[in-house]
């Protein structure tokens, strides 16, 4: 196939960054054009549905990434404890220690939430259930596993908000570390 000038798959990560930076409404076609280096013709060629399809593609790519790098290991790893540590490391990396925003979380608070409600809900529901699965396999009771998983996702999202608001990545680092310690303690005591 050699060298197509641009592929839809190449554009999606750029779109993700633009939406993260400007939000859905703030990401105008003009800035999208600048950042992707594509004209409107190309953008509408790849995404006939316009901005909505672009955002949907971004959310799908995010879901694909989390499924492969986070959820699947949590659900399937033979060593659930290592998988949980791996998740926290991957999360710290993915969100750049709090410098990067969670686009799905931002959408949840935005007025576009209703438009992408299914994707937003699925993202968090999957995360919570995958983590709960790992915790159960690590010895936690179903109730405790579910509670801990929910608290963990809550802490990550809250830490992203606070780190961004206070412009202080240390907030995120502390929250991840506290979460890690709490999960480790729960697993050790094996309630």
Q: Rule CB under 7 A: is residue 181 a binding residue for DNA? A: no
Dihedral, CA of residue 104, residue 62, residue 66 and residue 175, to nearest 10: -40
Binding site partner of 6, from a copy of itself, DNA, none, Cβ cut-off 5-8 A by kind: DNA
CB 51 within 8 A of CB 27: yes
How far apart are the C-alpha atoms of 11 and 8, rounded to whole Å?
5
Judged by CB, which is closer to DNA: 13, or 142? 13
| Contact call for residue 13 and DNA (CB under 7 A) | no
> Distance between CA 20 and CA 101 in Å, rounded?
6
Distance in angstroms (rounded) separating the CA atoms of residues 83 and 118: 27
Query: 101 is in the binding site of which of a copy of itself, DNA, none (Cβ under 5 to 8 A by kind)?
Result: a copy of itself
Least distance to DNA from the beta carbon of 110, Å?
14
CA distance 104 to 82: 26
Residue 25 within binding range of DNA, rule CB under 7 A:
yes
Residues 55 and 18 sit within 8 Å (Cβ to Cβ): no
Is 165 a binding residue for DNA by CB under 7 A? The answer is no
Token pair of 108 as six digits? 């949840």
3-state SS, residue 100 = coil
Neighbours of 59 (CB within 10 A): 21
The interface partner of residue 31, options being DNA, a copy of itself, none and the CB cut-off 5 to 8 Å by kind, is: DNA
The distance of closest approach from Cβ of residue 78 to a copy of itself in the complex, given in angstroms and rounded to an integer, is 29
For a copy of itself, give the closer residue by CB, 108 or 184. Answer: 108
**Which of residues 80 and 98 has its CB atom nearest to a copy of itself in the complex?**
98
Among 9, 13, 34, 39, binds DNA (CB under 7 A): 39
Residue 36 vs 175, nearer CB to a copy of itself: 175
Residues 45-84 as x/- pattern, contact with DNA by CB under 7 A: xx-x-xxx--------------------------------
């Amino acid at each position: 196939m050699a060298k197509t000038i641009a592929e839809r798959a190449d554009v999606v990560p750029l779109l993700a960054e633009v939406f993260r930076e400007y939000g859905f409404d703030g990401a105008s076609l003009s800035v999208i054009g600048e950042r992707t280096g594509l004209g409107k013709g190309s953008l509408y060629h790849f995404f006939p549905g316009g901005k909505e399809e672009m955002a949907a593609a971004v959310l799908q790519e995010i879901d694909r990434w989390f499924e492969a790098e986070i959820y699947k290991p949590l659900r399937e790893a033979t060593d659930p404890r290592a998988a949980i540590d791996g998740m926290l490391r991957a999360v710290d990396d993915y969100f750049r220690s709090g410098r990067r925003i969670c686009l799905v979380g931002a959408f949840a608070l935005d007025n576009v939430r209703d438009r992408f409600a299914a994707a937003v809900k699925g993202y968090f529901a999957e995360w919570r259930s995958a983590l709960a699965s790992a915790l159960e396999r690590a010895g936690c009771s179903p109730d405790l596993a579910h509670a801990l998983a929910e608290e963990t996702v809550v802490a990550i999202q809250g830490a992203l908000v606070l780190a961004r608001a206070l412009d202080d990545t240390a907030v995120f680092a502390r929250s991840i570390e506290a979460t890690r310690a709490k999960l480790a303690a729960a697993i050790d005591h094996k309630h």
